[in-house]
């Protein structure tokens, strides 16, 4: 067992920051290449005319799950050592709703607004400024909202824990869900965007 590399000491803090930098650059590059630097393309998913974001994110989820499962099965990864942020159910549901409203209104999520700003889109720059302002405001108000922020703690809580199913079976069910989601997305796109025209 030799992964996660950082947890087993195969590289240190400095190397981990360098790896994170290259992963971040790669992530941003592929987001831009996929067209996710355009608020119109991102917002189109809410009108069911272009569900590319849904498809890409589900592919990423399934790829990561399958990778973790097979690497674990081969004895190369101890998936129990993979960092999973603690769950705080109510504040995270609230945060997800705020995130969703912001996504619909602005057309960007945090990653894609950085991509848009880096490629010179003015709306991306405005959204990035708003995101940074929100982070600073949260930091200033944290002492007032800390009780809510740390409420309903559930610790390290994962999908297999929720479903009370083995990891492998959970992965299989998520793959089936993804395939069904892809099929539904294709139907919705044909219904709401029969011309297949993609916004720029």
Q: Decide if 162 is inside a domain.
A: yes
CA-closest candidate to residue 46, choices 121, 116, 123, 100: 100
Catalogue the E-assigned strands of 55-97.
87-88
Task: For residue range 100-118, list pLDDT tens digits in order.
Answer: 998 888 889 888 999 999 9
- Give the H or E element holding residue 90: helix 89-106
Sign, CA torsion 46/52/56/62: positive
Interatomic CA distance for residues 121 and 38, integer angstroms: 8
Q: Decide if 1 is inside a domain.
A: no
* Helix, strand counts (H, E) of the chain: 8, 2
Task: Check: pTM over 0.85? Answer yes or no.
Answer: no
Domain that holds residue 84: 13-192
Q: Decide if 3 is inside a domain.
A: no
Q: How far is CA 181 from the centre of its chain?
A: 17
Task: For residue range 157-176, list pLDDT tens digits in order.
Answer: 888 989 999 989 999 999 99
Q: How far is CA 144 from the centre of its chain?
A: 28
Chain length of the chain: 200
Q: Decide if 109 is inside a domain.
A: yes
Catalogue the E-assigned strands of the chain.
87-88, 153-155
pLDDT band at 199, cuts 50/70/90? low
Q: Decide if 198 is inside a domain.
A: no
Q: Decide if 48 is inside a domain.
A: yes
Token digits for 109?
A: 């999520």
Q: How far is CA 43 from CA 27, 54, 101, 102, 125, in A?
A: 20, 11, 12, 11, 17
Q: Are 131 and 117 in contact (CB under 8 A)?
A: no
Task: For residue range 4-57, list pLDDT tens digits in order.
Answer: 777 777 777 888 889 889 999 999 998 888 888 889 888 888 889 999 888 988
Sign, CA torsion 142/115/56/65: negative
- If one counts the domains in the chain, the total is 1
Q: Decide if 85 is inside a domain.
A: yes
Query: In the predicted model, is pLDDT for residue 1 greater than 60?
Result: no
Token digits for 30?
A: 């592929």
Q: Decide if 160 is inside a domain.
A: yes
């Amino acid at each position: 067992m030799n992964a996660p590399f950082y947890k087993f000491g195969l590289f240190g803090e400095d190397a981990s920051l360098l790896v994170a930098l290259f992963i971040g650059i790669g992530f941003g590059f592929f987001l831009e290449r996929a067209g996710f630097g355009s608020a119109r393309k991102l917002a189109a998913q809410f009108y069911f005319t272009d569900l590319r974001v849904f498809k890409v994110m589900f592919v990423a989820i399934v790829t990561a799950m399958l990778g973790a499962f097979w690497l674990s099965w081969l004895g190369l990864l101890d998936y129990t050592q993979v960092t999973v942020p603690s769950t705080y159910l109510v504040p995270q549901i609230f945060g997800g709703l705020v995130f969703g409203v912001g996504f619909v209104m602005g057309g960007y999520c945090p990653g894609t607004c950085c991509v848009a700003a880096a490629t010179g889109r003015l709306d991306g720059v405005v959204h990035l400024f708003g995101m940074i302002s929100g982070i600073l405001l949260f930091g200033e108000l944290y002492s007032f909202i800390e009780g809510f922020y740390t409420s309903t703690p559930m610790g390290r809580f994962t999908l297999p824990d929720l479903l009370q199913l083995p990891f492998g079976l959970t992965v299989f069910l998520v793959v089936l869900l993804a395939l069904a989601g892809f099929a539904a997305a294709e139907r919705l796109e044909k219904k709401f965007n029969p011309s297949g025209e993609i916004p720029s």
